[in-house]
A and B are shown apart, each in its own frame.
Chain A
Amino acid sequence: MDIVGFIVKLFLSPQVFAPIVFPGLLTALVVLLIIIWAERKIAARIQMRVGPLYVTRHLGGVLQMLADGTRYMFQEFIVPETADRIPFIVAPILALTLAILPFAFIPSAPGFSPISSPLTLPAVLAVISAIPISVLLMGWASNNKFSIQGAVREAFMSLGYEVPLFISAISMSILYGTMSLEEMVTKQFIPGLILNPIAAFTFLVSMIMSAGKLPFDIVEGEQEIVAGPYVEYTGIIFGIGMGLAYLKLYALSLIYTIIFLSGWEPLPKLLYDIYPGIAGIFLFVKAFLLMLFIVFLRSVYGRYRLDQALKIGWRVYFVLSIVSLILSLGLRVILNV
């Protein structure tokens, strides 16, 4: 009986439950299925279409993505003869691992952090910023002209968005006086979005760039380079490449909610008393709504050109992030929070 008790205790500990179940991996996979479906349904509604429908018709085709994923599973995985075999196979696995890793740092309720550290914010951003390296490796190992173009675009873009992303996040941590994601929520007497709107906006745009959503889906650039770094991939690995952007978006949305939208507040006391692991329901809802907004942009915008996106990153949002940094310093002096 002791062993069962130990397993249950282990499973319910924040170190396992948060990254694996909620809001981590399993929730992320469900979100992945629903958000892609929602994106297609929103776009379909705007574009006078029906959208996915025929899989589970009475549920509006919500399981379409599961059906697609199953199809990917049974598709042959081809390694091209000209590809660099080992990096070609390792790179997507590395990318997926790095995309899941941020959930090890994201707390879902007060006192329910998987890793209790004063430095969870830089850690989670560091992990997310390592994903482009594996995408770069995918593109290079594929040894295809389009995929190399895509890899180069990924490299350019990651430089373009990561600097404003980091600086706007750091400016908030200066404002709150902490680099721990959990403490950041407790420090927000009003949401960070109102305290420093410039940082919030800069982070949002950098986030969209990072996740490669429209109008910044430059890396995949279907009309120019087919699928960018993923062009040689088939089967489930191609599916992973597709899901990668959404996993990244989900992790970044959670971080955005924690930094700017006062995280899990208001905390449902009842749920917290039952089990703290499921008390982060508002964190999840806010993050999901944010994701819905970002995928909605697909129906409004086309794609920016690479040099335009870089110009936006460096000349507009880099400057704005510096302004937000100064604003945070000023607020810190005045408010003395």
Chain B
Amino acid sequence: MLSMSSEFVSSRLLFKEGDESTYELFIGPQHPASGHMRFIVRLKGDIIVSVDPDIGYVHRTMEKLAEGREAIKAIPLLERLTIIDSHNVTVALVTALERLLDAEPPPRALYLRTLLSEINRIASHLYGMGIAGIMLNHSTMFMWAFGDREVWIQLAEELTGARLTHTYSIPGGVRRDLPQGFKEKFEKAARYMEKRLQDYMKIFLLNPQIASRYEGVGILKKSEARRLSIVGPNLRASGVKYDARLADDYGAYKELEFEVPVREEGDCMARMLVRVEEIKQSLSIIRQVLEKMPSGPIFAEKYLKLLPPKTREQVLKTGHVKLPGIFASLKLPAGEAVARAEMGHGEIFYHIVSDGSTKPYRLRVVTPSFRNVVLFRYLPPGHRFMDFPAIYGSLDYFPPEADR
């Protein structure tokens, strides 16, 4: 069919590499394990020669859309980048906007942001572990992780009023105060999660069958991880201790004690174990947050006083923030601001350029999955074809996030 004289056929996708001895497989976009993307996998026998990740199937012009609307409206929009981790994905945007607007959120708001960020991180890691499970056809891990994710989604709903699209952080603070009895509900959830993590270890990661699929597979060396600028748990599993929670000042992380789990092996197993450890750390962070939570307002004084007195009283009484009218046409001062945050998948980076109008002149977002997608090219070659789903699962790659 492709017997054309030249090496190149018109489309990039039909570009032939090497001779007929490689077997070309198109994994996706309509494939049970491809996600919203395509991989062009070339095999020699059972050994992967090259993998070409073909991204862009779920590109939604997020950056451009954000440039066409008022700054505040970018928050619910960009949440949709990674719907499973929607607070972490926007907290950096809000931080950047605050830096531009010079609005300092009160300490209680910072603690509440941290609380929701960690709840989101646990849910995101559970999602990733579930997908990793089904990639090895381990349906129990898939169902358990997805079922237990529900616990954290419900906690987030308790706090914010929405299961996934929280839109919790706004410039100057957060939209809702801590509900009553949240601490008890969290303790119950945390005890359950700690028990479940042991179950996960037993049935999945310590299961000799799964261990034989993960150990020594898809090794990412420390130097390679640095060179390819990988982020998130994938980087930390290769022995690099980098975490945007420590690198940038957002939320209340400066006042909390937590460890950054690091492993040296860099294989699929290490990546999965780092996620498990991070869930444990997140639980400890939330405990500290609930203990140390300062009392006070949840919305910056600067914006609170723009509200009519009656509404302001209501806000202070109920803990539900009503946005001041000025927010609809908030003028961003001319200038630039950057911010980054640690998502479940890794570091997300925002760069906002403003020319003084209500809409950002340029809103650039670099997502962790976009930075990790290069691993598909580097990790699988040399492995067996059946290792491909194992590696894919362990990377916790999320196509809509990478495509933006």
Please give the residue numbers on chain A whose beta carbons come within 8 Å of chain B beta carbons, in ascending order. 43, 46-49, 145-146, 149, 214-215, 217-218, 221-224, 226, 298-308
- Pairwise interchain contact A49-B143, C-beta atoms closer than 8 A: yes
Q: What is the CA–CA distance of A221 and B390 in the complex, to the nearest angstrom? A: 13
Q: Flag B24-51 by CB within 8 Å of A: 1 or 0 each.
A: 1110000111000000000000100000
Which residue from B24, B26, B33 sits with its C-beta under 8 Å from A223?
Answer: B33
Q: Flag B77-100 by CB within 8 Å of A: 1 or 0 each.
A: 000000000000000000000000
10 more CB-based (< 8 A) A-B contacts, given A222-B137, A305-B213, A308-B213: A46-B140, A47-B140, A145-B23, A218-B386, A221-B386, A298-B139, A303-B386, A304-B213, A305-B387, A306-B384
CB distance from B339 to the nearest CB of A (A): 37
A-B pair count, CB < 8 Å, reads: 81
- For B, the interface residue count at a CB cutoff of 8 angstroms equals 32
Q: Indicate the member of A47, A49, A214, A226 with the most B CB atoms within 10 Å.
A: A47
| Nearest CB in chain B to that of A301: its residue | B209
| Nearest CB in chain B to that of A47: its residue | B143
- Pairwise interchain contact B25-A302, C-beta atoms closer than 8 A: no
- Pairwise interchain contact A223-B135, C-beta atoms closer than 8 A: yes
Q: What is the CA–CA distance of A250 and B212 in the complex, to the nearest angstrom? A: 29
- Pairwise interchain contact B384-A47, C-beta atoms closer than 8 A: no
User: Which chain A residues border B25 with CB–CB below 8 Å?
Assistant: 145-146, 149
Which residue from B135, B207, B386, B388 sits with its C-beta under 8 Å from A301?
Answer: B207
- Say if the beta carbon of B344 comes within 8 Å of chain A: no
- Say if the beta carbon of B147 comes within 8 Å of chain A: yes
Q: Indicate the member of A145, A223, A304 with the most B CB atoms within 10 Å.
A: A223
Q: What is the CA–CA distance of A149 and B33 in the complex, to the nearest angstrom? A: 16
- Pairwise interchain contact A303-B136, C-beta atoms closer than 8 A: yes
| Nearest CB in chain A to that of B217: its residue | A305
Q: What is the CA–CA distance of A134 and B25 in the complex, to the nearest angstrom? A: 24
Given contact pairs A43-B139, A302-B137, A303-B136, A224 touches B33 in the complex (Cβ within 8 A): yes
Please give the residue numbers on chain B whose beta carbons come within 8 Å of chain A beta carbons, in ascending order. 23-26, 31-33, 46, 133-141, 143-144, 147, 203, 207, 209-210, 212-213, 384-389
- Pairwise interchain contact A306-B144, C-beta atoms closer than 8 A: no
Given contact pairs A47-B140, A47-B144, A302 touches B386 in the complex (Cβ within 8 A): no
- Pairwise interchain contact B213-A302, C-beta atoms closer than 8 A: yes
User: Which chain A residues border B141 with CB–CB below 8 Å?
Assistant: 302
- Pairwise interchain contact A217-B140, C-beta atoms closer than 8 A: no
User: Which chain B residues border A145 with CB–CB below 8 Å?
Assistant: 23-26
10 shortest interchain CB distances as A-B pairs: A47-B143, A302-B136, A302-B138, A223-B33, A223-B389, A303-B137, A305-B386, A301-B209, A299-B140, A48-B147
Q: What is the CA–CA distance of A300 and B144 in the complex, to the nearest angstrom? A: 12
User: Which chain B residues border A43 with CB–CB below 8 Å?
Assistant: 139-140
Q: What is the CA–CA distance of A301 and B386 in the complex, to the nearest angstrom? A: 16
User: Which chain A residues border B387 with CB–CB below 8 Å?
Assistant: 305
Q: Indicate the member of B33, B139, B210 with the most A CB atoms within 10 Å.
A: B139
User: Which chain B residues border A215 with CB–CB below 8 Å?
Assistant: 209
- Pairwise interchain contact B213-A299, C-beta atoms closer than 8 A: no
Given contact pairs A302-B213, A305-B386, A223 touches B144 in the complex (Cβ within 8 A): no
CB distance from B385 to the nearest CB of A (A): 6
CB distance from A216 to the nearest CB of B (A): 10
Q: What is the CA–CA distance of A48 and B212 in the complex, to the nearest angstrom? A: 26
Q: What is the CA–CA distance of A222 and B136 in the complex, to the nearest angstrom? A: 9
| Nearest CB in chain A to that of B212: its residue | A308
| Nearest CB in chain B to that of A304: its residue | B209
User: Which chain B residues border A214 with CB–CB below 8 Å?
Assistant: 137
Q: What is the CA–CA distance of A300 and B141 in the complex, to the nearest angstrom? A: 9
CB distance from A269 to the nearest CB of B (A): 44
User: Which chain B residues border A306 with CB–CB below 8 Å?
Assistant: 46, 384, 386
User: Which chain A residues border B386 with CB–CB below 8 Å?
Assistant: 218, 221, 224, 303, 305-306
CB distance from A241 to the nearest CB of B (A): 16
CB distance from A27 to the nearest CB of B (A): 28
- Pairwise interchain contact A223-B32, C-beta atoms closer than 8 A: yes
- Pairwise interchain contact B384-A305, C-beta atoms closer than 8 A: yes
CB distance from B379 to the nearest CB of A (A): 16
CB distance from B248 to the nearest CB of A (A): 37
- Pairwise interchain contact B147-A304, C-beta atoms closer than 8 A: no
| Nearest CB in chain B to that of A305: its residue | B386
Q: What is the CA–CA distance of A302 and B209 in the complex, to the nearest angstrom? A: 7
Q: What is the CA–CA distance of A305 and B268 in the complex, to the nearest angstrom? A: 15
Q: What is the CA–CA distance of A48 and B144 in the complex, to the nearest angstrom? A: 7
User: Which chain B residues border A302 with CB–CB below 8 Å?
Assistant: 133, 136-138, 141, 207, 209-210, 213
Q: What is the CA–CA distance of A135 and B139 in the complex, to the nearest angstrom? A: 26
User: Which chain A residues border B210 with CB–CB below 8 Å?
Assistant: 301-302
Q: What is the CA–CA distance of A118 and B48 in the complex, to the nearest angstrom? A: 49
A-B contact pairs, 15 of them (CB 8 A): A43-B140, A47-B143, A48-B144, A48-B147, A145-B25, A215-B209, A221-B386, A223-B135, A223-B389, A224-B386, A300-B203, A304-B212, A305-B384, A305-B387, A307-B46
User: Which chain B residues border A298 with CB–CB below 8 Å?
Assistant: 139
Q: What is the CA–CA distance of A223 and B143 in the complex, to the nearest angstrom? A: 16
Q: What is the CA–CA distance of A46 and B33 in the complex, to the nearest angstrom? A: 23
Q: What is the CA–CA distance of A43 and B25 in the complex, to the nearest angstrom? A: 32
User: Which chain A residues border B23 with CB–CB below 8 Å?
Assistant: 145
Q: What is the CA–CA distance of A162 and B210 in the complex, to the nearest angstrom? A: 25
Q: What is the CA–CA distance of A222 and B31 in the complex, to the nearest angstrom? A: 9
Q: What is the CA–CA distance of A268 and B26 in the complex, to the nearest angstrom? A: 58
- Pairwise interchain contact B136-A307, C-beta atoms closer than 8 A: no
Q: What is the CA–CA distance of A299 and B202 in the complex, to the nearest angstrom? A: 13
Which residue from B24, B133, B137, B213 sits with its C-beta under 8 Å from A217?
Answer: B137
User: Which chain B residues border A300 with CB–CB below 8 Å?
Assistant: 140, 203, 207
Which residue from A47, A305, A308 sits with its C-beta under 8 Å from B139?
Answer: A47
- Pairwise interchain contact B209-A224, C-beta atoms closer than 8 A: no
Q: What is the CA–CA distance of A248 and B106 in the complex, to the nearest angstrom? A: 68
Q: What is the CA–CA distance of A145 and B144 in the complex, to the nearest angstrom? A: 33
Q: Indicate the member of B23, B137, B388 with the most A CB atoms within 10 Å.
A: B137
User: Which chain A residues border B46 with CB–CB below 8 Å?
Assistant: 306-307
User: Which chain B residues border A299 with CB–CB below 8 Å?
Assistant: 139-140
| Nearest CB in chain B to that of A222: its residue | B32
User: Which chain A residues border B389 with CB–CB below 8 Å?
Assistant: 223-224
Q: What is the CA–CA distance of A281 and B144 in the complex, to the nearest angstrom? A: 38
| Nearest CB in chain A to that of B389: its residue | A223
User: Which chain A residues border B133 with CB–CB below 8 Å?
Assistant: 302
Q: What is the CA–CA distance of A302 and B387 in the complex, to the nearest angstrom? A: 13
| Nearest CB in chain B to that of A299: its residue | B140
Q: What is the CA–CA distance of A215 and B211 in the complex, to the nearest angstrom? A: 13
User: Which chain A residues border B26 with CB–CB below 8 Å?
Assistant: 145
